[in-house]
Structures are given as C-alpha cells and as structure tokens.
Amino acid sequence: MKVALIGGTGDQGLGLALRFVKAGEKVIIGSRDIKKAENTVNTIKNMLKDEECRNLSAMSNEDAAAEGDIIVLTVPLQAQIATLKFIEKFLDGKIFVDATVPLESSLGGKPTRYVDLCHGSAAERTAEFLKGRNTNVISAFNNISSASLVNINEDVNCDCLISSDHEDAKKEVMKLAEKISGVRAIDCGPLENARIIEKITPLLINLNIRNKIKNAGIRITGLSFE
C-alpha cells in the first residue's frame, strides 16, 4: 500500500509522513508545488536514516492521488473542497482519509473554537462531495498533534479515533495508524461520529495553550486490546 499525503508539506503531513516512513511504509508527499514537496522529502531525509527513506517520493497533489492507495488529506478547512476538486478524479477505488478539523482559525478566528458545518463534520463534507464515486472515506488522525508526530525519538502517547461507514477500509486505516509507535487505533463506528471526534481537537489545543505544551492527546480507557 502506498500512502499519499495531500498537502503533505504542512505540519500534520510532515509528522504523519515521518512516522509512516519510519515504519517502512511507501510514502508520497503531495503538494500544489512540487518544489515544496521535494523540500519536505529532504526534511524527512535529514531526520531519518537513508535506508528508511528508500520508498519516499515527492509529487504534485494530483500525481500523489493517482499513485497512492491510501490517500490522506492534510490541509486546512478552507482548502478542503478546493483540493478535492483537483484530485477527485483519481479517487475511485481508493481509501480516502480526512484529517481536516474545522477550526475557526481557518476563517480568521480562534484555533480553540470549532466551526459547525452543515454536513456535521469535515469528513462528512468530504463524503458528500465524493458521493457517487467508489471512494471509502475515513476520518482519522484529527486528534494527534503534529508536535508529537515530529518528535520521532519518542512514542506518540495517544489514541487515534477512527470512524467510517466502510468497515474493511476502516480496518486498513486502523492498521496504518498503529504503525505509529505508541498509538492505539480505536474503532469509533460510523463516519457520522467524526462530528464528535473532530470537536475534541480544539479542546486539546485549548489544553496545550493553558498548560504551555504542544502535545495534548486523548486516550480511551476501559477497552480491551488483545
């Protein structure tokens, strides 16, 4: 499976790419600007060993979407639909993971406030946009801070809450999430639960600010993991 990060040049894309590359996955950094994608690839190469980066490449967002098997969208809310318009024709038969969080900062407001969308959540907005295509939309990686992800010498001490209406695709993404050292993937049921999961992120940002930290995360207790 090749993992393509659309908007992979930002904080979250870089963090996820680092972890997936470190875990031995084939990773493509996508960008609107291939030079920017190449710079991110070089950043990753400077942080990891050469032999770990053999399956890492830089592409335009469109080529990354065409080439990848699991496509992960890591762009701000205001870029979500605009980016989907460029890549939608490459998404048939693919697993599409949306990490978008509707933060008010996308609209010039506070990062500690959620923006209510008429679709219920950013992931449901994506699913609505891709309706009619054979694309399995998953919501994941919304609550994992990029600061934890880029700190590659330490485990990421939090859970990844994952929701989707496509059970097999959800299992694939759960396996991918658990490649991030320290992360447990939690099956949070249907995609409509993304409207609850995405709302946790502004709370975590609030906790980061109040406690002068950058890596607040969430763990679910009481579940048994064998």
Ligand X SMILES: NC(=O)c1ccc[n+]([C@@H]2O[C@H](COP(=O)([O-])OP(=O)(O)OC[C@H]3O[C@@H](n4cnc5c(N)ncnc54)[C@H](OP(=O)(O)O)[C@@H]3O)[C@@H](O)[C@H]2O)c1
Query: Binding ligand X by CB under 6 A: which of 24, 69, 82, 181?
Result: 82
11 part of the interface to ligand X, by CB under 6 A: yes
Query: Binding ligand X by CB under 6 A: which of 5, 12, 169, 197?
Result: 12
Please identify, using beta-carbon distances, which residue of 65 and 75 lies nearer to ligand X: 75
Cα–Cα dist 206/24, whole Å: 34
Structure tokens at 49: 């060993």
Binding mask 28-67 for ligand X (x = CB under 6 A): ---xxx--x-------------------------------
Q: Minimum Å distance from CB 224 to ligand X?
A: 27
Q: Minimum Å distance from CB 148 to ligand X?
A: 8
Of 44-52, 94-102, 151-159, 163-171: span binding ligand X (CB under 6 A) = 94-102
112 part of the interface to ligand X, by CB under 6 A: no
87 part of the interface to ligand X, by CB under 6 A: no
State which of positions 152-191 bind ligand X (CB under 6 A): none
Q: Minimum Å distance from CB 51 to ligand X?
A: 26
Q: Which strand ranges, in their side-by-side order, compose the sheet holding 2-6?
A: 56-60, 26-31, 2-6, 70-73, 95-98, 136-139, 159-164, 184-187
- The distance of Cα 71 from the centroid of its chain, to the nearest Å, equals 9
Query: Binding ligand X by CB under 6 A: which of 53, 65, 95, 103?
Result: 103
Q: Minimum Å distance from CB 157 to ligand X?
A: 15
Query: Binding ligand X by CB under 6 A: which of 57, 164, 201, 215?
Result: 201
Q: Minimum Å distance from CB 205 to ligand X?
A: 8
3-state secondary structure the chain: CEEEEECCCCHHHHHHHHHHHHCCCEEEEEECCHHHHHHHHHHHHHHCCHHHHCCEEEEEHHHHHHHCCEEEECCCHHHHHHHHHHHHHHCCCCEEEECCCCEHHHHCCCCCCECCCCCCCHHHHHHHHCCCCCCEEEECCCCCCHHHHHCCCCCCCCEEEEEECCHHHHHHHHHHHCCCCCCEEEECCCHHHHHHHHHHHHHHHHHHHHHCCCCCCCCCCCCCCC
Q: Minimum Å distance from CB 99 to ligand X?
A: 4
Of 2-10, 126-134, 172-180, 181-189: span binding ligand X (CB under 6 A) = 2-10
Structure tokens at 216: 């607040």
Which positions lie near ligand X, rule CB under 6 A? 7, 9-13, 31-33, 36, 74-79, 82-83, 99-101, 103, 142, 144-146, 201
